[in-house]
């Protein structure tokens, strides 16, 4: 793989040869046509919703290899987390307290969220930001999009435009914890008046802040396109291959006190903390490839058509060492050892595999008239997945076990079909109305044996589930331009979403069947825009029915588990502002205040006897409690100093305390934290062969705060004396650390 990366990187420099000059009119027309590919999902100036646009220039300024959540964390209501503690590898994002399962994420209008888990795994797309033209983060339900509904935000990404001029770019960065990133990009420019090719290869390695949370990431991006006056046809392929050390166990307070905050229990082969033997291959391994074929055609000055065909292939496995596991949980019988003792529990190597594919077709028709802008579209996507697990090795061995014993296997299929009509109509020169109607139909079936042992049935559980959902998601609003500087908007939107896979496989015998959730989102906003300043204010009220809420627990592969909450809401105010008092200084800030409540909630506490044997569940009712992972306050401040080719940026984010489950118990609370970062950049303009050299330095956690950005409830219950206890796990983040890099443009 290393050799292929080197050869590929060197070959990229040959792309600019044979390119030719293209005039400005051709460039403008080609870029405008490429933008049509996301017009169906993007909000525009008169869309009555809260959103932020991030341009390629803005993204590249802060991109030193960290994942997308960390590049967005200064946006209103955004919180980023990292298993490894560095922002590289397994990372996650929450907006308004909603995790990625409720955030609709697309690239070129194609769904990125996994169809079954509904999550997004940025580790499978390392360094994607290097090939992104722009991002739009919509908070709340947002506009209609393809894939699962949006319940906290939508992130719409458009990959890089075909370059009209030849270029080459080499980027390298490195820093704390052995972090190294290399990136090579090049483009042919326009060839023979109609063709263009762009490509990128990247490699990222890091040891991680947490013990053995290593990352070995490889990625690529390539696109080839044909264009003429009214048509652009592009083939885009991007993907990545990752091997990361598992760090999703987190750390308990007692282990932190014994072994330090970087301790990682994943892979322990013996008891005793850091002095124990570690399983060297305790890793997550996955490869994912995304392919898009995009046709954009301008039928007339008023009418444009976009058709996208797509297919994503993924394959990978987790490789883990598990201690003290019951043989029957793996479909294996007990046996007698050499001394004649009956063996019911063993330590073993476990591999869990996922082999899946996701493909479909998306078509949009965009109409622009003097007073009306309208888009209508349809999409059809289908996902197929195969889940299975194997036992390659058992410590001490056991008789009569097949090599790589397969102990569970199931298959699933999910169809997602939708149609929508979206329109903006100018009622007057100042007042416009917005209407967005979407119908969505989902089919989901699962069949086979899953990785859960049933004590009552004394076997691994079987699943045979078929579910269909039909959702109608209307949205409407108005936008009023008071004068050139001031504007108002208001909107109401409805969204529905089906449960994810884990809600069916991890449901438990004492819980009701999962339900689809529904949300009504009311938004009211004000904006002031001037040449040197802007101020935005947004008030929202998100009212839920059967909300799919994180319950504070994780699956055994680190995924948040969800549960239905009958009645809940999120009420908040988001403020953001930017002012440039002088040419050399810009000040930015945001403040998000929220109230996130469950009206009535029942938690089933496990009760135990004096020997710590499970007795029964004890239902306990709570009223008007906070939703998990929903801080009441999230704020950010930034100052940017610019002078000629020099730039210095200082930022600070404060995240208020948050509960780790839905009981609002003080002993299950993640403390507030405050993190400051510093970034320095200098551009060296160079003539002749090299166009520019950029030098950058980023110091993360400048004040060396000792904090955790995430956690979960490992265990909670009531002991024999009637005392409630909680055993929590946290994800410590790195103290002060740095990344330095250089980018050379040709």
More confident residue, 328 or 338: 328
Q: What is the mean pLDDT of residues 354-379?
A: 95
Average pLDDT over residues 712-737: 89
- Domain containing 575 equals 2-710+727-745
Higher pLDDT, 467 or 615: 467
Say if residue 509's pLDDT is above 70: no
More confident residue, 504 or 559: 504
**Residue 608 burial by CB count (10 A; 0-12/13-18/19+): exposed, middle or buried?**
middle
Residue 722 domain flag: no
Q: Please give the pLDDT value at position 37.
A: 55
Task: Assess whether pLDDT exceeds 50 at residue 19.
Answer: no
Under the banding of pLDDT at 50, 70 and 90, the label for residue 459 is confident
Is residue 746 scored above 60 in pLDDT? yes
* Whole-number pLDDT of residue 39: 58
717 within some domain: no
- Extract the runs of DSSP E, i.e. beta strands, from 15-90: 51-55, 78-82
Instruction: Give strand pairing partners of 621.
Output: 602
Taking residues 488-513, report their average pLDDT.
86
- Residue 162: Cβ-neighbour burial (10 angstroms; 0-12, 13-18, 19+): buried
* Residues in Cβ contact with 718 at an 8 Å cutoff, skipping those fewer than 6 apart: 605, 606, 607, 608, 618, 724, 725
In percent, the amount of the chain with pLDDT more than 90 equals 72
Question: CA 97, CA 549: separation in Å to the nearest integer?
Answer: 10
For residue 616, the tally of other CB atoms under 10 A from its CB is 11
More confident residue, 560 or 650: 650
Structure token digits, residue 633: 């306050």
Question: According to DSSP H, which parts of 186-298 are helical?
Answer: 253-259
Note the pLDDT of residue 5. Answer: 42
Predicted pLDDT of residue 609 = 82
CB 51 within 8 A of CB 139: yes
Which one-letter DSSP state was computed for residue 98? B
688 occurs within a structural domain:
yes
Parallel, antiparallel or unpaired: strands 669-670 and 110-111: unpaired
Round to whole Å and give the CA distance between 616 and 569: 31
pLDDT confidence of residue 14 = 46
Q: How many domains does the chain have?
A: 1
Q: Which two tokens stand for residue 127?
A: 């360094």
Pairing of strands 372-394, 167-175: unpaired
Residue 18: the pLDDT is 45
Q: What would the mean pLDDT of 348-367 be, rounded to a whole number? A: 96
CATH classification of the domain holding 166: 2.40.170.20
Interstrand relation of 708-718 and 585-608 (parallel, antiparallel or unpaired): parallel
Q: Which of 475, 469, 472 is nearest to 499 (CA)?
A: 469
Q: 17: pLDDT confidence band, cut at 50, 70 and 90? A: very low
At residue 43, the pLDDT reads 79
What was the pLDDT predicted at 176? 96
pLDDT attached to residue 10? 40
Sequence-distant (6+) residues with CB within 8 A of 400 are none
Query: Model confidence at 4, in pLDDT bands (50, 70, 90)?
Result: very low
Per DSSP, 501 falls in state H
- For 455: left if phi > 0, alpha if psi spans -120 to 50, otherwise beta; the answer is alpha
In terms of pLDDT, which residue wins out, 540 or 394? 540
Q: How high is the pLDDT of residue 731?
A: 96
Other C-beta atoms closer than 10 Å to the C-beta of 430 total 12
Q: Kindly tell me if the per-residue pLDDT of 27 is higher than 60.
A: no
pLDDT for 16 beyond 70: no
Q: Within a domain: residue 440?
A: yes
State the chain's mean pLDDT as an integer.
Answer: 90
3-state secondary structure of 62: helix
Please check the confidence at residue 247 and state whether its pLDDT lies above 60.
Answer: yes
Binning pLDDT at 50, 70 and 90, where does residue 40 land?
low
CA distance linking residue 139 with residue 50, whole number of Å: 6
Residue 565: the pLDDT is 92
pLDDT of 397: 78
Give the strand pairing for 91-95 and 167-175.
unpaired
User: Could you tell me what percent of the chain has a pLDDT over 70?
Assistant: 92
What confidence score (pLDDT) does residue 271 get? 56
Model confidence band, residue 32 (pLDDT cutoffs 50, 70, 90): low
d(CA 286, CA 316): 4
What tens digit of pLDDT does each residue of 115-139 get?
999 999 999 999 999 999 999 999 9
Q: What is the pLDDT of residues 683-721, one digit of tens each?
A: 998 877 888 999 999 999 999 999 999 999 988 888 878
Say if residue 179's pLDDT is above 80: yes
Sign of CA dihedral 91, 155, 669, 600: negative
Instruction: Assess if residue 547 is contained within a domain.
Output: yes
Rg (CA), the chain: 26
pTM of this structure: 0.91
Check pLDDT > 50 for residue 158.
yes
- Residue 187 domain-assigned? yes
Please report the pLDDT score of residue 324 as a whole number.
86
DSSP state of 340: S
What are the pLDDT digits (tens) for 543-554?
Answer: 999 998 888 888
Q: 715 in a domain, yes or no? A: no
Is 60 exceeded by the pLDDT of residue 11?
Answer: no
Please state the rounded mean pLDDT for residues 148-158: 84
Would you state the pLDDT for residue 34? 60
Residue 511: pLDDT above 70? no
Average pLDDT over residues 494-501: 94
Q: Which residues sit opposite 611 in a β-bridge? A: none
pLDDT above 60 (res 652): yes
Least confident segment among 157-166, 268-277, 279-288: 268-277
In a domain? residue 326: yes
């Amino acid at each position: 793989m290393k050799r292929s990366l080197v050869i590929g990187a060197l070959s990229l420099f040959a792309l600019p040869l044979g390119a030719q000059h293209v005039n400005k009119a051709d460039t403008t027309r080609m870029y405008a046509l490429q933008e049509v590919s996301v017009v169906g999902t993007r909000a525009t100036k008169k869309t009555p919703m809260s959103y932020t646009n991030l341009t390629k220039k803005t993204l590249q300024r802060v991109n030193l290899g960290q994942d997308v959540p960390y590049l967005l964390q200064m946006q209103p209501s955004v919180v980023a987390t990292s298993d490894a503690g560095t922002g590289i590898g397994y990372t996650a994002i929450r907006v308004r307290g909603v995790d990625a399962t409720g955030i609709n994420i697309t690239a070129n209008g194609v769904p990125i969220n996994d169809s079954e888990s509904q999550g997004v795994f940025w580790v499978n797309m390392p360094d994607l930001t290097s090939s992104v033209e722009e991002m739009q983060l919509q908070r709340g339900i947002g506009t209609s999009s393809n894939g699962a509904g949006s319940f906290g935000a939508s992130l719409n990404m458009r990959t890089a435009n075909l370059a009209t001029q030849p270029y080459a770019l080499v980027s390298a960065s490195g820093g704390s914890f052995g972090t190294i990133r290399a990136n090579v990009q090049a483009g042919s420019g326009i060839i023979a008046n109609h063709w263009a090719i762009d490509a990128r290869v990247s490699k990222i390695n890091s040891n991680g802040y947490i013990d053995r949370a290593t990352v070995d990431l490889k990625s690529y991006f390539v696109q080839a396109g044909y264009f003429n006056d009214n048509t652009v046809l592009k083939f885009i392929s991007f993907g990545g291959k990752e091997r990361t050390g598992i760090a999703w166990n987190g750390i308990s307070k007692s282990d932190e006190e014994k072994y330090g905050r970087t301790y990682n229990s994943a892979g322990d082969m013996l008891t005793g903390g850091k002095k124990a033997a570690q399983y060297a291959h305790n890793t997550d391994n996955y490869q994912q490839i995304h392919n898009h074929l995009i046709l954009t055609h301008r039928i007339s000055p008023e009418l444009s058509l976009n058709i996208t065909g797509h297919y994503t292939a993924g394959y990978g496995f987790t490789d883990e060492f598990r201690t003290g596991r019951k043989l029957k949980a793996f479909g294996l019988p007990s046996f007698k050892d050499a001394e004649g003792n009956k063996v019911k529990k063993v330590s073993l190597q476990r591999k869990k595999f996922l082999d899946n594919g996701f493909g479909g077709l998306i078509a949009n028709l965009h109409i622009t008239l003097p007073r009306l802008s309208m888009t209508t579209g349809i999409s059809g996507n289908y996902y197929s997945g195969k889940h299975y697990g194997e036992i390659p090795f058992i410590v001490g061995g056991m008789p009569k076990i097949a090599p790589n014993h397969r102990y569970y296997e199931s298959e699933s299929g999910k169809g997602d079909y939708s149609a929508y009509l979206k329109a903006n109509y100018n009622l007057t020169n100042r007042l416009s109305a917005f209407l967005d109607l979407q119908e969505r139909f989902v089919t989901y079936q699962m069949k086979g044996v899953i990785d859960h042992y049933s004590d009552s049935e004394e076997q691994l559980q079987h699943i045979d589930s078929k579910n269909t959902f039909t959702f109608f998601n209307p949205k409407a609003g108005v936008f009023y331009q008071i004068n050139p500087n001031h504007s108002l908007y208001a909107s109401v939107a409805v969204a529905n979403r089906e449960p994810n896979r884990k809600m069916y496989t991890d449901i438990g015998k004492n819980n009701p069947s999962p339900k689809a959730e529904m949300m009504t989102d009311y938004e009211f906003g004000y904006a002031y825009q001037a040449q040197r300043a802007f101020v935005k204010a947004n008030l929202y009220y998100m009212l839920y029915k059967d909300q799919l809420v994180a319950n504070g627990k994780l699956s055994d592969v680190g995924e948040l588990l969800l549960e239905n909450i009958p009645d809940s809401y999120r009420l908040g105010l988001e403020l953001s502002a930017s002012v440039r008092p002088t040419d050399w200084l810009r000040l930015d800030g945001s403040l998000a205040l929220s109230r996130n409540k469950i009206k009535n909630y029942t938690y089933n506490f496990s009760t135990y006897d004096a020997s710590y044997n499970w007795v029964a569940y004890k239902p306990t009712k709570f009223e008007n409690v906070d939703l998990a992972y929903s801080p009441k306050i999230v704020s950010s401040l930034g100052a940017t100093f610019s002078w000629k080719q020099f730039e210095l940026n200082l930022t600070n984010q404060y995240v208020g305390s948050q509960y780790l489950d839905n009981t609002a118990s003080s002993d299950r609370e993640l403390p507030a934290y405050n993190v400051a970062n510093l970034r320095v950049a200098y551009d060296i303009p160079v003539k002749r062969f090299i166009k520019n050299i950029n030098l950058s330095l980023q110091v993360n956690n400048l004040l060396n705060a000792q904090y955790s950005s995430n956690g979960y409830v490992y265990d909670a219950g009531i002991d024999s004396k009637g005392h409630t206890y909680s055993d929590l796990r946290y994800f410590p983040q790195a103290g002060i650390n740095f990344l330095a890099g250089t980018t050379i443009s040709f």
